[in-house]
Amino acid sequence: MMGAEPLKRGGEKPPPPAHVAIIMDGNGRWAKARGLPRTAGHRKGAEAVRATLRAAGEMGIGYLTLFGFSSENWRRPEDEVTELKGLLRLYLGNELNNLHENGVRLRVIGERERFGGELARMITAAEEKTAGNTGLTLTIALSYGGRQEIVAAARSLAADAAAGRVDAAQIDEALFASRLFTADIPDPDLLIRTSGEQRVSNFLLWQIAYAEMVFVDTLWPDFGRPELEAAVRAFSLRDRRYGGVKG
């Protein structure tokens, strides 16, 4: 249960999690409940991205990672996939300057080449334009799967070991993590999933090993600052031991 916001000794609020990851779920159910096509839910979900990003920045969260499109989502109906690609194109076109002006660094992880040359080029151009920004880092996972990421990292290390560039006996967690898509950002402290579902759906499987998880009933299109603040309050009440014992 999410109670009142806890205070640190001296009346200070606890710091927010450095990195929040969100599985954005419920667009289709939101649309269905209103007698609308699923694509309407995706459009409303894009508005929720904007509101959540703004709230995260104002709350002092340094890294926000959003699960936008999984590698399994390619199996959805063609018209829905086309709509999702169009929304991504629209988001990059309409939001990029705003992100840049607010110091947001944009990163995309996943198999971007599957979106086609034009959209892949837009993604790369957006990353390059915001690469020097020092505010919040927004990472969007597109055509992404956690198992695929781990396999890619293992394949990279195996190739280097076979070529003599890496001593296989020296491979440890840190070296393995350096081959992941998220090598240059910290692991998530908090994972949020919307819509009442309680599973991680192949998202950041390595990185969330010690993340606190908060599952909320709110469908993603209705998610915003109040829901993010409630999840962060719940996070601040957790006793994070990382496998050890305190006291």
In percent, how much of the chain has pLDDT > 70? 92
Which amino acids are annotated catalytic?
25, 73
Residues with pLDDT less than 50, the chain: 1-5, 7, 9
Binding-site residues for Mg(2+), in ranges, read 25, 212
With beta carbons less than 8 A apart as the criterion, state whether 80 and 41 touch.
no
**Residues 6 and 14: beta-carbon distance below 8 Å:** yes
List, as residue ranges, the binding site for substrate: 26-30, 38, 42, 70-72, 74, 76, 193, 199-201
Decide if 71 contacts 148 (C-beta within 8 A).
Answer: yes
- Structural domains of the chain, ranges and CATH numbers in brackets: 19-235 (3.40.1180.10)
Considering only CA atoms, which of 62, 66, 60, 61 is closest in space to residue 95?
A: 66
Which CA distances in Å does 242 have to 6, 132, 210?
21, 33, 6
pLDDT number for residue 243: 62
| pTM attached to this predicted model | 0.90
Strand-pairing partners, residue 65, are 21, 139
Which residue, among 188, 183, 184, 177, has the nearest Cα to 19 in the 3D structure? 188
Both tokens assigned to 149: 């990421």
Residue 16's pLDDT is 94
Give the pLDDT confidence of 40-53 residue by residue, as tens digits: 998 999 999 999 99
pLDDT given for residue 84 in this prediction: 78
